[in-house]
Amino acid sequence: MRENQWIQVAKEIRCQAPGVGSIKLHKQLSEIFGAEHMIGRDVFIKLLRKKKMVLPAPKPRHTTNSNHRFRKYKNLIKGIQLNRPNQLWVADITYIDTQVGFTYLHIITDAYSRRIMGWKLAETLKAEHTLEALRMAISYAGKNNLTDLIHHSDRGVQYCSTDYVNELKTYDINISMTEDSKPTDNAIAERVNGIIKQELIYRLKLVKDIKELEVKLSSFIEYYNIRRPHMSLGMQAPDKVYLQSGQQNRLWKPRVFKKSKQVIIQP
């Protein structure tokens, strides 16, 4: 019976991304089985509810030290209009708990495509780990594809450190930083952190150590980049948008706050 096939594949997807929602599940199953062989979205959600597979709303669970001696850079993304990959990268660090203590995910995302370009899971907030994530991002993008790229982050000591700043300058990457600590000043980075936590971390039992967490994160980030549809990308996955040439039709438009003129990009 096809209903059982849908549920089985949905469970397999949830194994890789435990918190993926009903609408995105329906989109992926429509691609796998063919839209003509799938029931409508609302009927599908009723099926999930019947099978007790509708997810409850996650409960929300600060890593920035801007009180340091290093230079803090100006915000360069006020009013920015995104129209291509490798135009703006957003960087952030978020914490993830394990049975043996906190770990820290250092992450860089391409703002246009939402692709996770580089990441490093570590037991500390040291700048060397943040630098590893940056080098992964540069390696994937290719040093010849960084023209006019802006790197945007908070004013944390990791992003202002000498080694990190020098790495950015080596590749002529423009440095931009938030003007205060409001989450809206780095909205896309905060959104990606939220997806990882809501769709993976909060759905897991507390993992025993960093090695187990790294395996699960690696699998989820692969899924996120290659398969996870985004409403803001027309239900396309980040890799598809990142690798396509030419400007894509977006379902959101950057808007500028009149007061702060900080660009806020809708998720």
pLDDT at 216: 93
Mean pLDDT of 12-35: 81
DSSP 236-252: B-HHHHHHS-SPPPPS-
Give me the pLDDT at residue 153, please. 94
Listed by start position, the domains of the chain span 1-51, 88-243
Read off the pLDDT of residues 228-266 as tens digits, 9 standing for 90 and up. 998 889 889 999 999 985 455 554 454 332 334 444 343
Of the options 3.30.420.10, 3.20.20.80, 3.30.1280.10, 3.30.530.80, the CATH number for the domain spanning 88-243: 3.30.420.10
List, for residues 47-90, the tens digit of each pLDDT value. 888 888 887 665 554 445 455 556 778 999 988 899 999 999 99
Confidence of residue 1 (pLDDT cuts 50, 70, 90): low
201: DSSP letter:
G
The backbone region for 96, taken as left when phi is positive above 0, alpha when psi lies in -120 to 50, beta otherwise, is beta
Highest mean pLDDT among 16-20, 68-72, 171-175: 171-175
Which amino acid type is present at position 44? F
Q: Round the average pLDDT of the chain to a whole number and report it.
A: 83
Whole-angstrom CA distances from 168 to 146, 152, 160, 256 are: 10, 11, 11, 27
Half-sphere exposure in the Cβ direction for 261 (13 Å, CA)? 6
239 CB-near residues (< 8 Å, 6+ apart): 113, 115, 225, 226
Mean pLDDT score, 138-156: 96
Supply the DSSP string of 88-147, one letter for each residue. EEEEEEEEEEETTEEEEEEEEEETTT--EEEEEEESS--HHHHHHHHHHHHHHH-GGG-T
Give the CA distances from residue 58 to residues 23, 83, 195, in Å, rounded to whole numbers and listed in that order.
Answer: 16, 33, 11
pLDDT of 255: 36
pLDDT of the residue at 257: 29
Q: What pLDDT shows up at residue 249?
A: 54
Read off the pTM: 0.70
CA distance 103 to 95: 6
| Angle between helices 22-33 and 41-50 in degrees, nearest 10 | 110
Q: Tell me the C-alpha distance between 191 and 194, whole Å.
A: 5
Which of 159, 149, 182, 164 lies closest to 80 in space, CA to CA? Answer: 149
Mean pLDDT over 151-179 rounds to 94
Supply the pLDDT for residue 29.
Answer: 82
Is 174 in a helix, a strand, or coil? strand
**Per-residue model confidence (pLDDT) at position 3:** 84
- Whether the pLDDT of residue 189 is over 70: the answer is yes
Tokens encoding 28: 């992926």
27 HSE (CA, 13 A, CB side): 15
Mean pLDDT of the 32-55 span: 82
Distance CA(182)–CA(198), nearest Å, equals 20
Can you read off the two tokens belonging to residue 108? 């860089």
pLDDT of 210 strictly over 80:
yes
Q: What per-residue confidence (pLDDT) applies to 60?
A: 52
Asked if pLDDT for residue 13 goes beyond 90, the answer is no
Q: Is the pLDDT reported for residue 146 higher than 90?
A: yes
- pLDDT tens-place string over residues 96-126: 888 878 899 999 999 999 999 999 999 999 9
